Every structure is written in structure tokens, then in C-alpha cells.
Amino acid sequence: MQIEVVRRWHAIEKVTMRLVNHLVTCTFAIQDGDYIAVAGSLSDAREILTKIPTHVGIGRVLTIFADALSEQLFLTFPNLALPPPLPHTKQHDLFHGFYEVGPHLKFPHFIANRAILKAFESCGIVHVIDFALMDDVQWQPIIKVMAV
């Protein structure tokens, strides 16, 4: 059983490295203006993204990176039609309700906010990248503290 888990993990690692290589190739192709190569690399990257978990960890980061590269391609060709926006759902309201009811999300945000504030004590500039792009509930308390 454990051997199978290790094999699966190694397979995911291998596929993830292929994905990273495609995305790096894509960024160089964008810099070089080779948009045919960009389209090919992005297509391959999207194919690979179907084979790894994309809701957490490196899969999520690579998904966001691939999306950003796609947006860069659309900016390069403004006449291309952007994909239609996703239909508005109640997901935001449900998430906000869950956040308000339970401590499961508030506690990690509290700890992260403390670490960010501590970083501001010793550094003049701090960059914070939020990959949980769903809601801004974490940032309201820290902005209030920093405003004081």
C-alpha cells in the first residue's frame, strides 16, 4: 500500500516537472514574441493540469501561473474574444457564512496576519501574495491594525 502511494507521488512529481518546463518555455516564448509556441505550450500545460491535483499546493500555484500566461496572450492579441465569465453563484456568500460561523479559517488567517505584522517590524517593504483569491476576509483585520 505504502509503495503504491510513493509511486503515485513520484508520478505526480514527474508530471509536475513537465508542467513547470512547459510554463517556463511559454514565458520565454512570450518574451520572444513566438505566440505559436506560446499557444502550443499552454495547450500542453492545460493537458498536464488535468493529471495533477490543482486545488492545493504546487498544482494550484501552477494553475494560477498558467491562467496568468493565458491572460498575457489575450492582452497580446486584443481582437481575440475572452472566454465568457463564469456565472455568478452563491459561493461567495456561502464561504463568508462559513468563515463567520467557525474558527477553522479564522485561526490560520490570524496566525498569518501576526506573521505579516511581525515582518513589517523588521522590514521596510513586505510583499504578500494571496493565492486564496476567493475572498478578502483575511485582509480586513490586518488593514485596520495597520491603519492605526
- Walk along the chain (148 residues) and give the pLDDT tens digit of each residue: 678 877 887 888 888 888 888 888 888 888 888 888 888 888 888 888 888 877 767 788 888 888 888 887 766 555 655 555 444 455 666 666 767 776 666 777 788 888 888 888 877 777 777 766 556 677 777 777 777 7
SS3 state of residue 23: helix
**What is the structure's pLDDT at 84?**
53
Per-residue model confidence (pLDDT) at position 92: 66
Q: How many CB atoms lie within 10 A of CB 59?
A: 19
